[in-house]
Chains A and B, each alone.
Chain A
Amino acid sequence: MKKGINYSLIGMFLLTSLLFVNALQAEEAKITVLNPLGQPPPIALVPMAPRLGTLDGKTIYIVDVGFTDTHQFLVEMQKVLAERYPKANWIVRTKIGTYFEDDPKLWAEIKEKGNGMIMAVGH
């Protein structure tokens, strides 16, 4: 009888040890690594310009950034807008250089003479 009890105890001890080792191995299998991402700059929020209550009497620039065939597309847009909203003045202008380049003179003109702007890329 004593021997039978001893074997049960030994068996329970071995089973418990085995479960403990398995659990330990499962925990050890988890690792940490380093994040590979670089640092993007903070984003400065730019509030949108106030909208126009009406288009009547307003001058709206339609700016072509210079991508191939964008100009033809925007000329058609100007025609449609002028047909539907004849009380507004719709002006198509092409920005200088390629579509990557700035055009401070054009922006200054739009600020001075325009009330709004549409800028488009026809790809």
Chain B
Amino acid sequence: MFEDLVKTTAYKKGMPHQRFTFVPHPVWGKPASVHREYIEGKDPITGKPVMQEIIEALTKPLTDEEKKTGFLERTEPRIVGPDTPENLQQLFLKNGWTDGLPIVLPTEKKVAEMLKKTSHRPDKLVGKMRPSPPHEAWEYTVEKVAINAVMAGAKPEYFPVILAIASTGITSLFSSTTSFARMVVVNGPICDQIGMNSGMGAMGPFNHANATIGRAWTLISRNLSGGGTLGETYLGSQGNNLSYNNVCFAENEARNPWKPFHIQKGFKPEQSVVSIFTGWGITHSFGSAKKEFHQQISSLLGSFCPYSSGTSVAGALVLVDPLVAKDLKEVEGFDTKEKLSEWLYKNTLMTVEDYWNSGLVSTFTLPQAQLGVEPFASWLKLPKDALIPRFLSPKEINIIVVGGETNAFWQAGDFRYIGSASVDAWK
């Protein structure tokens, strides 16, 4: 199952001849008796006995190849071709340089046009990106981002937004067997300047800027970090359809009765900003029997994963149509987004028993509790039926206003906020 991943990761870490043994998959959820059968059985890839391979790995003398030192450089030519456009489309597809859809071929002329919309030099380093923490990080320049922006079909005026996204170094194709998705929300004057959609259909396939900016991030994540190679740098068992465009849209600031998201995060109204979120999915709560929006939202958030690792915590992102936002403020009394987040934090609870039984909690949070990290260490001592908040703080629950007021609709996703970047810095 993970042969390619193991071998390419070892190669990239400088150990192309690392000695491995595999057992049948999965190990997770199997009883000890099955684990023993695995150990006493055969490696499903080589067919050799697992025990024999383990002992040979420990005792068989090294070969000359295994003793080698030195460096392996990996460079690619700057130019591809010459060839016909049709052949180049097939080459890009075959090389895994696309998202499976036809691309705009990045001729030098088209890339030069894209580069005109930034004041930065083409050879300026924009950032580094890796598919996930164990993987190596690749570097990329302004020109390389421009190439991928052209491929996505983006217009040159979108380029500062795409550069801002690329500057975060955050991949949209995070490599996990659980199939993550990303979201990018744009705020500030740039949204109207380049014709982004924040109203009706904003999260759907109806706007050129929304579509191509989001797509550019996917191509950047594949090509500028070595990501998206199935079995090696992408392991999502089912994949995530949101990854085609990464839910790229503009917040509806004109019809937002509260502060826009970027202002909540400390930016000024006149600044243009991209904000990045990560999660797994978005859904609605038509099934809720609650009458008021804030109670419906709490009901849906009550099904989201509550994990917390050393580097990230569970979050929720509530996407409300302006009609819903107006109602939440004027009828239900939440005159700021922060007050709504606070209420949701205090009222979206779960039992201690359910918390520790959650799969991701047992993998990521239990080790922290055992090391004495609070509040988890204290939660280990609570009775099973004690109630604790599902989210660690109100800050983990964010609200974005988007939509065209054809329906008092809202959705929510288990998306946590990662960070924001300035678009203006890349003009």
Contact = CB atoms under 8 A, between A and B. Distances in A.
B424 interface: no
Contact of B147 (A29, A35, A52, A100): A35
A122 B79 CA distance: 43
A99 to B, nearest CB: 8
Contacts of B29: 69
A35 B79 contact: yes
A38 B310 contact: no
Nearest to A94: B367
Contact residues of A: prevailing secondary structure: loop
A68 B69 contact: no
A8 interface: no
Interface string B345-383: 000000000000001001110011001000000000000
B97 A30 contact: no
Given A31-B82, A66-B367, A98-B367, A38 B225 contact: yes
B210 interface: no
A76 B33 CA distance: 8
A78 to B, nearest CB: 10
B359 A68 contact: yes
Nearest to B66: A48
Interface residues of A, number: 51
B113 to A, nearest CB: 13
Nearest to B145: A38
B60 to A, nearest CB: 6
Interface stretch (B50-58, B156-164, B413-421): B50-58
Contacts, number: 199
Nearest to B27: A122
Contacts of B83: 30-31
B93 interface: no
Interface residues of B, number: 90
Interface string B264-302: 000000000000000000000000000000000000000
A31 B105 contact: yes
Contacts of A96: 367, 371
B59 interface: yes
Nearest to B359: A68
A55 interface: yes
Contacts of B60: 51
B32 interface: yes
B219 interface: yes
Interface stretch (B8-16, B180-188, B400-408): B8-16
Contact of A38 (B18, B62, B226): B226
A47 B66 contact: yes
A101 interface: yes
Contact of B140 (A38, A67, A84): A38
B46 interface: no
B148 A100 contact: no
Given A43-B14, A97-B368, A118-B54, A31 B88 contact: yes
Interface of A: 29-48, 50-55, 60, 66-70, 72-73, 75-77, 79-81, 84-85, 96-98, 100-101, 116, 118, 122-123
